[in-house]
Amino acid sequence: MADAGIFATTLEVQRKVGANANSTANVEAYINDFMTQAESEINTLSQFNWSDAYSGLNADVKGILKLAASSRAAMWVINYDADAIGKKTAALRLDVLNDDYQRALSLLRDIKKRDFINDA
Protein backbone atom coordinates (compact mmCIF):
# COMPACT_ATOMS: atom_id res chain seq x y z
CA MET A 1 0.00 0.00 0.00
CA ALA A 2 1.24 3.49 -0.79
CA ASP A 3 0.72 6.76 1.00
CA ALA A 4 -2.69 8.16 0.08
CA GLY A 5 -2.19 11.61 1.53
CA ILE A 6 -0.92 14.62 -0.34
CA PHE A 7 0.47 16.74 2.49
CA ALA A 8 2.41 14.22 4.61
CA THR A 9 3.57 10.61 4.66
CA THR A 10 2.87 7.73 7.00
CA LEU A 11 6.42 7.95 8.38
CA GLU A 12 6.02 11.65 9.16
CA VAL A 13 2.84 10.90 11.10
CA GLN A 14 4.43 7.98 12.94
CA ARG A 15 7.34 10.18 14.05
CA LYS A 16 4.86 12.55 15.66
CA VAL A 17 2.85 9.75 17.23
CA GLY A 18 5.94 8.61 19.11
CA ALA A 19 6.67 5.35 20.88
CA ASN A 20 4.23 2.71 22.07
CA ALA A 21 1.16 3.77 20.09
CA ASN A 22 -1.54 1.21 19.38
CA SER A 23 -0.26 -1.11 16.65
CA THR A 24 -3.67 -1.33 14.96
CA ALA A 25 -3.99 2.41 14.32
CA ASN A 26 -0.31 3.19 13.74
CA VAL A 27 -0.17 1.53 10.32
CA GLU A 28 -0.38 2.83 6.79
CA ALA A 29 -4.01 1.84 6.14
CA TYR A 30 -5.31 3.71 9.17
CA ILE A 31 -2.96 6.65 8.69
CA ASN A 32 -4.01 6.97 5.04
CA ASP A 33 -7.61 7.24 6.20
CA PHE A 34 -6.71 9.77 8.90
CA MET A 35 -4.58 11.75 6.43
CA THR A 36 -7.29 12.16 3.81
CA GLN A 37 -9.70 13.30 6.53
CA ALA A 38 -7.12 15.75 7.88
CA GLU A 39 -6.51 17.20 4.43
CA SER A 40 -10.22 17.73 3.84
CA GLU A 41 -10.58 19.35 7.26
CA ILE A 42 -7.62 21.68 6.61
CA ASN A 43 -9.03 22.70 3.22
CA THR A 44 -12.43 23.39 4.73
CA LEU A 45 -11.25 25.26 7.82
CA SER A 46 -8.81 27.42 5.85
CA GLN A 47 -11.41 27.96 3.10
CA PHE A 48 -9.00 27.03 0.32
CA ASN A 49 -8.41 23.79 -1.55
CA TRP A 50 -4.70 23.30 -0.87
CA SER A 51 -4.92 19.76 -2.25
CA ASP A 52 -5.74 20.97 -5.76
CA ALA A 53 -3.12 23.74 -5.62
CA TYR A 54 -0.41 21.62 -3.97
CA SER A 55 1.93 21.12 -6.94
CA GLY A 56 2.24 24.89 -7.46
CA LEU A 57 2.93 25.82 -3.84
CA ASN A 58 6.33 26.82 -2.54
CA ALA A 59 8.26 24.69 -0.06
CA ASP A 60 7.36 26.87 2.93
CA VAL A 61 3.61 26.51 2.41
CA LYS A 62 4.02 22.78 1.79
CA GLY A 63 5.87 22.57 5.10
CA ILE A 64 2.99 24.25 6.92
CA LEU A 65 0.53 21.84 5.29
CA LYS A 66 2.74 18.93 6.35
CA LEU A 67 2.81 20.27 9.91
CA ALA A 68 -0.98 20.59 10.03
CA ALA A 69 -1.86 17.27 8.39
CA SER A 70 0.72 15.13 10.17
CA SER A 71 -0.20 16.65 13.54
CA ARG A 72 -3.91 16.08 13.00
CA ALA A 73 -3.49 12.51 11.77
CA ALA A 74 -1.11 11.75 14.67
CA MET A 75 -3.77 12.96 17.12
CA TRP A 76 -6.22 10.41 15.70
CA VAL A 77 -3.67 7.60 15.94
CA ILE A 78 -2.99 8.43 19.59
CA ASN A 79 -6.67 8.90 20.38
CA TYR A 80 -7.50 5.47 18.92
CA ASP A 81 -6.15 3.91 22.12
CA ALA A 82 -4.68 6.39 24.59
CA ASP A 83 -4.13 3.56 27.10
CA ALA A 84 -1.47 2.07 24.81
CA ILE A 85 0.96 4.84 25.76
CA GLY A 86 -0.64 5.86 29.03
CA LYS A 87 -3.27 8.56 29.45
CA LYS A 88 -0.88 11.20 30.83
CA THR A 89 1.60 10.68 28.01
CA ALA A 90 -1.22 10.64 25.47
CA ALA A 91 -2.66 13.86 26.89
CA LEU A 92 0.72 15.60 26.67
CA ARG A 93 1.30 14.44 23.10
CA LEU A 94 -2.22 15.46 22.08
CA ASP A 95 -1.73 18.94 23.60
CA VAL A 96 1.54 19.47 21.72
CA LEU A 97 0.10 18.19 18.45
CA ASN A 98 -3.03 20.30 18.82
CA ASP A 99 -0.91 23.41 19.41
CA ASP A 100 1.05 22.64 16.24
CA TYR A 101 -2.15 21.98 14.30
CA GLN A 102 -3.86 25.19 15.44
CA ARG A 103 -0.75 27.29 14.70
CA ALA A 104 -0.46 25.81 11.21
CA LEU A 105 -4.16 26.47 10.49
CA SER A 106 -3.73 30.06 11.59
CA LEU A 107 -0.75 30.48 9.26
CA LEU A 108 -2.68 28.96 6.35
CA ARG A 109 -5.61 31.31 6.92
CA ASP A 110 -3.20 34.27 7.01
CA ILE A 111 -1.60 33.18 3.74
CA LYS A 112 -4.99 33.09 2.02
CA LYS A 113 -5.99 36.44 3.53
CA ARG A 114 -2.78 38.07 2.20
CA ASP A 115 -3.32 36.51 -1.24
CA PHE A 116 -6.86 37.91 -1.32
CA ILE A 117 -5.63 41.39 -0.35
CA ASN A 118 -2.73 41.29 -2.83
CA ASP A 119 -5.02 40.21 -5.67
CA ALA A 120 -7.60 42.95 -4.97
The 10s digit of each residue's pLDDT in 62-108 is 999 999 999 999 999 999 999 999 999 999 999 999 999 999 999 99
Question: Cα dihedral sign for 62, 68, 74, 77?
Answer: negative
Q: Which of 31, 25, 19 is nearest to 89 (CA)?
A: 19
pLDDT digits (tens, 9 = 90+) for 14-57: 999 999 999 999 999 999 999 999 999 999 999 999 999 999 99
Asked whether residue 120 carries a pLDDT value surpassing 50, the answer given is no
